[in-house]
Chains A and B, each alone.
Chain A
Amino acid sequence: MESSASGGTEIQSVPESHPSTRVYVGVAAVLAVITAVEVMVFYIEALRPVIVPALLALSAAKFTLVVGFFMHLKFDSKLFRALFAGPLIVAIAVLLAMLALYGVFTR
């Protein structure tokens, strides 16, 4: 991490440790496979009892891959991570609270 002073402000360059093209293509391939698995899970009757946790887990995996690799959050500053994760956690907490309040889990 290189740094320089400018007008009393400490300037630091963001780490340029972005993944290679091969990693990007690999991540895209995994995303495509997970999407295909999601659709398969939807159509397989035997998986009906576990469809909700299975699809949520697969969706969360895709979410994490895009945010971590394509948005570079895995490699970028912790402050960016906090700026994203903070509101996301609040949004998920409010969502769960509202669904519980409206009895969505007990339908």
Chain B
Amino acid sequence: MSQSDAASAEMYTSTGLPSRKLLMWTFIGSECMLFGSLLITYLVYRGKSVVGPYPEELLNIPFISVTTFVLLMSSLMMVLALAAVQRGDMKWGKVWLLATALFGSIFLAGQVFEFSHFVHEGLTLRRNLFGGSFFLLTGTHGAHVTVGVVWLLSLFFMALRGRLTRANAETVEIAGLYWHFVDVVWIVLFTVIYLLV
């Protein structure tokens, strides 16, 4: 087996599919279970807090709608980054990667602002059932967004140093899968937590 054949055998599974992509989809499947369990906790505890503050007193729909829009648009930027890298246009690849990270950071800043406001209003992890389940669910999502932003920035700096090229577009695709999943989770959380109060 030649060196390139050995490398190919490492990159592909016996199914003929890229091993890293298969791993990412398996990981995303497991993440469905994780967020499913946190969502169950939130829904079971909903409306059972015996002391305030209550969700209807705190949740700011216009504000969170804007941050939701920002996260949705970051997904568009992510696919544009992937498309640019796949066609070898690294200039726009870098621009869209940085823009995705920037929009992710704006979403995180919004979440930090929201959490600070809630704590200021007296809602903490231990205050009531809403506080515990809300911070656990949205905080876990926020941690995932943070990991995504760091990942995207690392890809951006790799591209700046010329270490990210069309040849490793799959690396960007895998980061994109993770990023879009984080967006998909927020689509569900936005509806369940904020709109179905």
Contacts and interface: CB of A to CB of B under 8 A. Distances in A.
Where chain A touches its partner, the secondary structure class is helix
Contact of A39 (B15, B37, B65, B83): B65
Interface in A1-18: 3, 6-7, 9-12, 14, 16, 18
A21 B142 CA distance: 28
A104 B36 contact: no
In the complex, which of the residues B12, B21, B83 has the most CB atoms of chain A within 10 Å of its own CB atom? Answer: B12
Interface residues of B, number: 55
Where chain B touches its partner, the secondary structure class is helix
17 contacts: A14-B18, A28-B72, A32-B69, A38-B191, A43-B61, A58-B191, A66-B180, A66-B187, A70-B76, A70-B183, A77-B17, A80-B17, A83-B25, A88-B29, A88-B32, A91-B33, A102-B44
Interface of A: 3, 6-7, 9-12, 14, 16, 18, 21, 24-25, 27-28, 31-32, 35, 38-39, 41-43, 51-52, 55-56, 58-59, 62-63, 66-67, 69-71, 77, 79-80, 83-84, 86-88, 90-92, 94-95, 98-99, 102, 104, 107
